[in-house]
Amino acid sequence: MAGYYPPVGFHFKVEFTRLDGIELKSNDHQFQSVSGLSVDLETEEIAEGGENRFKHKIPVRTKYPNLVLKRGLLKDSGLITWCKNALENYEIVPADLSVSLLDEKHEPLFSWNVVHAYPVKWNVSDLNAEENKIVIESLELTYNYFKIA
């Protein structure tokens, strides 16, 4: 009887499913890391008159952190054009994307479908002549929510 093995976190893909007006290049879907796939339920505390032992916590809304995508710096990238348009020209064009965790057959085990994302930050790693590292660019996206498929 085969046992269950948890999936590995290094086999994933990122696909932009809707990015109006931007032509993606062949390497625009390759990232070395993805972070920010989490959700928190915000609560509000309400004090009840006469009850001093505790405050009631009422659910208010869900909160999603920014999604951070990291990869080696690309010279020609449709995603960077999208980021530059948003950050330099304030041309905000929201996009939908999916992050899929893959199995050994390259099939999705889980997919996070991110809705209405747009760039809020673009960052390049430090340039240092004393280190032998690849230059990494980070794309930080804000989004409304994600759905797990």
Residue 25, CB-side half-sphere exposure with 13 Å CA sphere: 12
Q: Is 82 helix (H, G, I), strand (E, B) or coil?
A: helix
Fold assignment, 12-38+65-148: Pnp Oxidase; Chain A (2.30.110)
Please report which residue ranges of 40-133 form alpha helices under DSSP H.
78-89
Look-up: residue for tokens 């939908």?
96
C-alpha distances in Å from residue 52, one per residue of 45, 56, 59: 13, 11, 20
pLDDT for position 1: 52
pLDDT by 10s per residue, the chain, length 149? 577 888 889 999 999 987 777 788 888 889 999 999 999 999 999 998 887 888 999 999 999 999 999 999 998 899 999 999 999 999 999 999 999 999 989 999 999 999 999 999 999 999 999 999 999 999 999 999 999 98
pLDDT for position 44: 95
pLDDT for position 58: 94
pLDDT for position 76: 87
Average predicted confidence (pLDDT) for the chain? 92
**Which of 100, 62, 80 shows the shortest CA–CA distance to 141?**
80
Assigned token pair, 46: 């309400």
